[in-house]
Structure 1
């Protein structure tokens, strides 16, 4: 039985910019395009499916004689009145590079069609670069404008040396370099706030989110290369969590702030304005294309940044891929990791570490869905080998993962042990372990305690969790809260003399 997962409608929407680049811009054969799409993007389709889509999209390597003649005549007329050399025939923009190639191969034939020598010479000597990128995705405004503006912004930032690739492979803005911290802490606050709103928890959201609004000032001012795709993924996660109110608040504030700080005509200001309009229309399909366009733009630069490329792919996973099934998530990320390894991109980097963790999470969810619980428990174990800076150096993620699996299969006592063990490590500062991660550990522990009827202990954990959250406005966790909770957990493990639970058997499926 064929194990391939064949491309469906939404898959083609995401893949279109890549296929267009490979097939038309890079002039690769259909066979080459299919191989690249399978190996690098986990995208499977038959030659017939490709040909049908290429025809629907109007993507072709051939130029008709009638189009060449019309283009040459139009070009000659444009020159006479001083117009642009960008030619459109019957609503279709004609690529003058293909016209040039056609003329070189068929010059005598063109002359027989009664096209003047002046028009031929003009076409062969004309700079065919259009005034703005030809996105050609078939969207009406504002979606097409958003894609076009994004392409202009990225190319302009690199060509104008506003963004540069540092010796460590990171991509930076010449306006400043603090944006990465601000982005991570901003999402930490939005993440926790959205979850607490869903729980109807009593928490001062204004105090928690106030620093996030302050971070946006620096993020917008510095024009950090990671900011636009990162923020878009944040807004999208809030949307599919049902927190449209919170998403709208921050998106509107970002658009207004950018217009005020950078000016309304700045590409970044136009991007956020167009995003506001995009969210009022159908945007999910567009979002996938937008990230593919960004990745394509990054990969075309003379200097490539592993941090920027892998970071944008992480944002794509957060905003688009994680809404798909677990099998698609795991397979797609696995293929991406293989491509990164083959290209020697970001061998040891923060963004690559996040992507590895993302793959392990998708693998755990897939194995749980398949009933392969032992493999699900072990899904995070491989991260430990990447060391303190880029891996699960103290095993906290593996402990939490085992707690998640035990909770899923109904082993509440085992889940409690693993969650308590993980909670002892929440204050070991590590790459993956922000306050959102700590909150998820305590949340899991609270569920297992409630499930066992340990209401008093569950209340203690909940109070400690809320105390930590209340400290967020101070930008750090109070030492007294951390010490109190750690002491409580150690006492539990000592007094009850709990041993680490035995591994799950496959029979527990």
Structure 2
């Protein structure tokens, strides 16, 4: 099994989704204090862009700097947004406070509406948060109370007598989500029991078919999606269909192998495409797979029934289904195949990634710590278990970076040297150290780290996606250092290797004859630059993202 670390081949999010680094994020001189009067002048603009138009913080900052000449640090923006009550994300303590108030008032037969720092709260969002975070209910039952500050910020009152939309029947998507959850649980339970897959408790879990390449193929599929986006952002002269067509061909072989990888990573595919490719690839891939799965597996196969639901144009709860799948499948996998099984580790890592890329930094660190503790308690030392340690370290590094403590993040990253990292992972660690050097303005350090990463990945003939990320970052650092000629050479090398990667993936995707009826949509799709969103792993730069090298 290929590794799945921040620094290895099996990172679920690819380098294209973050455009290699967050080097372009707007910054202002550290230590500059901005008077409240200046903030109040541009408050309506920030409110409109961030809250009403739901734009990412990075984009809001760019608009303010470009159109209003206003610059401030990410930390300043976050502090002011919190103070104004414009936060997009619910906090655990806030939901706990609402849960306590609502329970008390319901016992008195009272209807309630809530506000957080003066902003109305959607009870549907509260209910979804509670469903996705069962630990919150445990805290409530244990009598845990929120902080005094949170208690003061959460207000409750009886609404005016108007028809309540909460009395309406649940939307169709909710019943579909429940149906898919049941189908997945039954499918995995039956597969583990009947021996459809070759699995060993706390060992591996693979298809019974010899030569199954699903892990590598799936990584190449998602890497291709990310590389498409990065190429568009950088205006690289490369055919988009050259990257996409092999990806769709690879999906055919993955499905035909009846590997557990396709089933277990469906949750990842849902939130990943919804998070990074909502405006383009999401519906293309969903429609394609909804048509492909019954052709390959037959109309009575459980996965066909699942994809008939989630591949329909009416289905929209991709993220909610993903989070509920993790809550449902993690306990099942731990019981049936063990904490240290390779498939359980894939599920663990995908769940952590989902939390990270939706801004839930604290929860992602907590979950990563829990999963790592459970796996290491088995006393087994499978290579894939290193991924949890690297993932957890990556989250801690990012938290320090968000606080402006880059040197501490570098020290934290260096602790990974205590692990037996392979050359790919060492290369990835050097890329991240180079990124830190770049952010500190130490371009010499950045260039040295990127070159060492390139040497390691070349010597090991390792994953090409790490090399492409390394070359892209090296090119940027060289240009910053005034070495334009060498930067141009690196640029040409990167494009050649990108083209070679696409050709290799096309060769690697060996299509079984039984799948020939399904046609890849990659070749006929028209792309234009306006379709490419401004991808960054989080809405506000380093604050809640993993280290900037992320590979699938």
TM-score (norm 2): 0.59
Structure with higher Rg: it is 1
Shift of 1:401: 1.8
Question: Are residues 471 and 370 of structure 1, via their aligned partners in 2, closer, same or farther at CA, if it must alter by over 3 Å?
Answer: same
User: Structure 2: how far apart are the matches of 1:296 and 1:394?
Assistant: 29
- Find the aligned partners of 2:337 and 2:447 in 1 and give their Cα distance: 52
Q: How does 1:7-406 map to 2 (within 5 A)?
A: 8=95, 9=126, 11-16=129-134, 46-47=142-143, 140-166=174-200, 169-176=203-210, 177-242=212-277, 244-277=279-312, 280-301=315-336, 306-344=341-379, 347-350=381-384, 352-387=385-420, 390-391=421-422, 395-406=426-437
Q: Partners in 2 of 1:7 and 1:310 — Cα distance?
A: 31
Q: 1:251, 1:320 → 2: CA distance?
A: 22
1:268 Cα offset (Å): 0.7
Matching residue within 499, 503, 511 for 1:474? 503
Summarize the Cα distance change of 1:48–1:354 in structure 2 as closer, same or farther, 3 Å threshold.
Answer: closer
**CA displacement 1:92-121 (0-9 Å, x = unmatched):** xxxxxxxxxxxxxxxxxxxxxxxxxxxxxx
- Count of residue pairs the alignment pairs up: 361
1:454 aligned residue (472, 483, 497): 483
What's the CA shift for 1:219? Answer: 1.1
Change (3 A) 1:198 1:243: farther
Q: Structure 1 279/364 Cα, relative in aligned 2: closer, same or farther at 3 Å? A: farther
1:164 aligned counterpart, secondary structure: strand
Name 2:458's counterpart in structure 1. 427
2:449 aligned partner? 418
1:99-144 residue CA offsets vs partner (Å, 9 max, x unmatched): xxxxxxxxxxxxxxxxxxxxxxxxxxxxxxxxxxxxx999733111
Cα distance in structure 1, aligned partners of 2:426 and 2:209: 38
Q: Could you give the per-residue CA deviations for residues 380-404 of structure 1, whole angstroms, max 9, x where no partner exists?
A: 32333333xx545884233212111
The answer (yes or no) to whether the contact 2:339–2:374 under 8 Å persists in 1 is no
Note the C-alpha offset of 1:438: 1.4
1 or 2 for the larger relative contact order (CA 8 Å, sep ≥6)? 2
Deviation per CA, 1:383-442: give whole Å up to 9, x if none.
33333xx54588423321211111222322322222222222221337xx5222212111
Q: Deviations over 1:63-116 (max 9, x none)?
A: xxxxxxxxxxxxxxxxxxxxxxxxxxxxxxxxxxxxxxxxxxxxxxxxxxxxxx
**Alpha-carbon deviations, 1:235-273, whole Å to 9, x = none?**
532332245422322222222111111122311112222
The 8 Å contact of residues 270 and 322 in structure 2, kept in 1 or not, is answered as no
CA RMSD of aligned residues (A): 3.3
Aligned residue for 1:364, secondary structure, equals helix
1:446 and 1:462 in contact (8 A); partners too: yes
Structure 2: distance between partners of 1:456 and 1:194: 26
Maintained 8 Å contact 1:378/1:398: no
Secondary structure, in 3 states, of the residue corresponding to 2:435? helix
1: distance between equivalents of 2:372 and 2:129? 19
Question: Structure 1 stretch 205-214 or stretch 403-412: which is displaced more?
Answer: 205-214
CA distance in 1: counterparts of 2:339 and 2:401, whole angstroms: 37
User: CA offset at residue 199 of structure 1?
Assistant: 2.9
Partner Cα distance (2:196, 2:183) in 1: 16
Question: How far off is 1:305 after superposition?
Answer: 6.0
Q: 1:327 to 1:140 in 2, by over 3 A?
A: closer
Do the aligned partners of 2:243 and 2:502 also contact (CA within 8 Å) in 1? yes
Q: Residue 220 of structure 1 contacts residue 258 of structure 1 at CA under 8 Å; is this kept in 2?
A: yes
SS in 2 for 1:172: strand
* Cα distance in structure 2, aligned partners of 1:328 and 1:460: 43
Are the structure 2 counterparts of residues 301 and 469 from structure 1 closer, same or farther at C-alpha, using a change threshold of 3 Å?
A: same
Query: Whole-Å Cα distance in 1 between the matches of residues 342 and 283 of structure 2?
Result: 28
Q: What is the distance in 2 between the residues matched to 1:189 and 1:392?
A: 23
